[in-house]
Amino acid sequence: MNKILFAVSIVVLLVSYAAAGDKKPVKPGAHDKCPVCGMFVAKYPDFLAQIIFKDGSYAMFDGPKDMFKYYLNMKAYNPSKKTADIDSVYVTDYYSLTPVDGLKAYYVIGSDVYGPMGRELIPFGKEADAKEFMKDHKGKTIVTFNKVTAVMLKELE
């Protein structure tokens, strides 16, 4: 009985681990280009965003805005991949400048902080950080990954 329980728990653990996305963030190389705007990514590490697919391939962006454009319109940017192929998403936390899980991050819209592509969704790992940033930098709203829409991105242009 105990053995079965152990095996089941192992399986559950593995599955949940995989579901959370276990691929580590990738360091941008000198030749990595943003598939949306075509800029070299390595020059802008402070706003770096990346989508890592299950097969190990990845897409790098010079800001979360371009990442969302790509994500919401994958058919146009990368027809060979589907949303389901995504393993993990990483964005760069504004305060710590370290990669955080993009799926769970909080994004502040409408702030006075500009990225390499102009107005941005500024990502934070913690909601409290996002709230304080919004106060300090005249942000309008905080959104989570799934709440970002094409209309919102249009407004940031």
To the nearest whole angstrom, how small is the minimum distance from the Cβ of residue 47 to another protein? 10
Task: Using DSSP, state whether 73 is helix, strand or coil.
Answer: coil
Between 59 and 63, whose beta carbon lies closer to another protein? 63
Binding residue (CB under 8 A) for another protein from 9, 95, 138, 149: 95
**CA distances in angstroms from 134 to 62, 111, 137, 149, listed in the order given:** 21, 7, 5, 20
- Please tell me the count of residues contacting another protein according to CB under 8 A: 11
Task: Using DSSP, state whether 50 is helix, strand or coil.
Answer: strand
Between 84 and 128, whose beta carbon lies closer to another protein? 128
Token pair for 85: 């192929």
Binding residue (CB under 8 A) for another protein from 50, 133, 134, 143: 133
- Residue 54, Cβ density class (10 Å: 0-12 exposed, 13-18 middle, ≥19 buried): middle
To the nearest whole angstrom, how small is the minimum distance from the Cβ of residue 154 to another protein? 25
96 binds another protein (CB under 8 A): yes
155 binds another protein (CB under 8 A): no
Half-sphere exposure at residue 154, Cβ-oriented, CA atoms within 13 angstroms = 3
Between 33 and 137, whose beta carbon lies closer to another protein? 137
90 binds another protein (CB under 8 A): no
